[in-house]
Chain A
């Protein structure tokens, strides 16, 4: 990776991580977007979108509901997409390591968000009296400090993931013993299983959705065999 590419990855990772909760929640942080951006940063958006689609299959399962703890997919997906696409050709080892980094990084990102929210709570307690007096500069500063802290969190997470993942990927590519076909098949089985169960879990409580799901899956199989 060139310094320019690393700079782009950090920029995209920061933006995607910041988008998750703070601003503007426009879902730039979804893996299918973020990993494609990561792929584009290292020169192959096509490989990036493949990595993004795999991670999106896992992300469909998680809902970013308010106070619950959920994975932060943004920064991790940018790094994952960049790691995979950086090779320019599809490599089995790079694919698995990219997906593992995406999943583990999302978990770490979720943990870092909890830490930030705890830190914000401490700041809220400190500012309580001034806020109760309606001091606008304190309210504004509290909001802006929260936003700035999230930017720092997302940047630090992207840098950390890059620093850990790059040597890991290089090592695994050299010593990867499975064929590309087997590797892709394993990844596809796991991703499809999680996505199928997630779609079922989300929609099956709605009237008629189970029948629709079953009929559409049967139609999907027909399409699959036609393809």
Chain B
């Protein structure tokens, strides 16, 4: 069945809903209901409209368990909405829906959570380290991160809607496959280059003294090595919480 182009208003409505796809995240259906919620404006164009059986059946189908990276879920929303409007067989849609979970989850986790977010984070720390003001640090971080974030959601919805159940080849795009490696190398470079300067700015040269700063930096590096060795068994932020709580107790009770 040929699907007429969706009105711009419907695309926009789906996009805005995508920003809230995890609004009802739960341990039963994960983002299943969220996916149906995002797709719903397009499903209104099914034969019979909002009162039709096709609309209700499609909504019920699309509300079942679904898991994917929240940004790349846009691909599934676009592709499955098109499949529903093209009148593809329900068993085919359900099978494809299940098949999309794993690649959309792992690709998104690798590209966004394990690469893009830490990269933007170390870049913001680098800006802070070189003395940038709060406006530049925060503005730079938000602008860069969200350029990638919003592009990914827009791209996902667009290719999903364009290709329907034939969307798989689009997931092999170089950005999704090679992006994490390139971003990771750049992140490692910026992170490592700026770490001594981040330390310097947090410690404050005026208050700490040069010798103490040098000793502190060596202790930080040795501690980092220990944390790397204990990877998976000890979370650094929890160690930080325990040590700093002990420091606070000691410093207040000693006086």
Contacts and interface: CB of A to CB of B under 8 A. Distances in A.
In this complex, which of B122, B135, B193 has the most chain A Cβ atoms within 10 angstroms of its Cβ?
B193
A38 to B, nearest CB: 11
Interface in B153-196: 180-181, 184-185, 187-196
Given A139-B40, A200-B228, A217-B192, A184 B25 contact: no
Contact of A26 (B135, B146, B189, B219): B146
B107 interface: no
B202 A188 contact: yes
Given A185-B208, A195-B125, A203-B188, A23 B19 contact: yes
Contact of B191 (A71, A199, A206, A227): A199
Interface residues of B, number: 106
Contact of A66 (B67, B135, B142): B67
A67 B225 CA distance: 29
A67 B200 contact: no
16 contacts: A26-B149, A53-B124, A56-B125, A58-B236, A60-B121, A181-B212, A187-B202, A188-B220, A193-B219, A193-B224, A196-B192, A197-B227, A203-B187, A216-B192, A217-B196, A224-B199
Interface stretch (A1-9, A145-153, A155-163): A145-153
A154 to B, nearest CB: 13
Contacts of A181: 204, 207-209, 212
A59 B60 CA distance: 38
In this complex, which of B115, B231, B251 has the most chain A Cβ atoms within 10 angstroms of its Cβ?
B251
A133 B56 contact: yes
Interface of A: 21-28, 30, 32-33, 36-37, 39-40, 45-46, 48-50, 53-54, 56-67, 71, 92-93, 96-97, 99-100, 103-104, 106-107, 117-118, 120-121, 123-125, 131-136, 139-140, 142-147, 150, 171-172, 175-204, 206-210, 212-217, 219-221, 223-224, 227
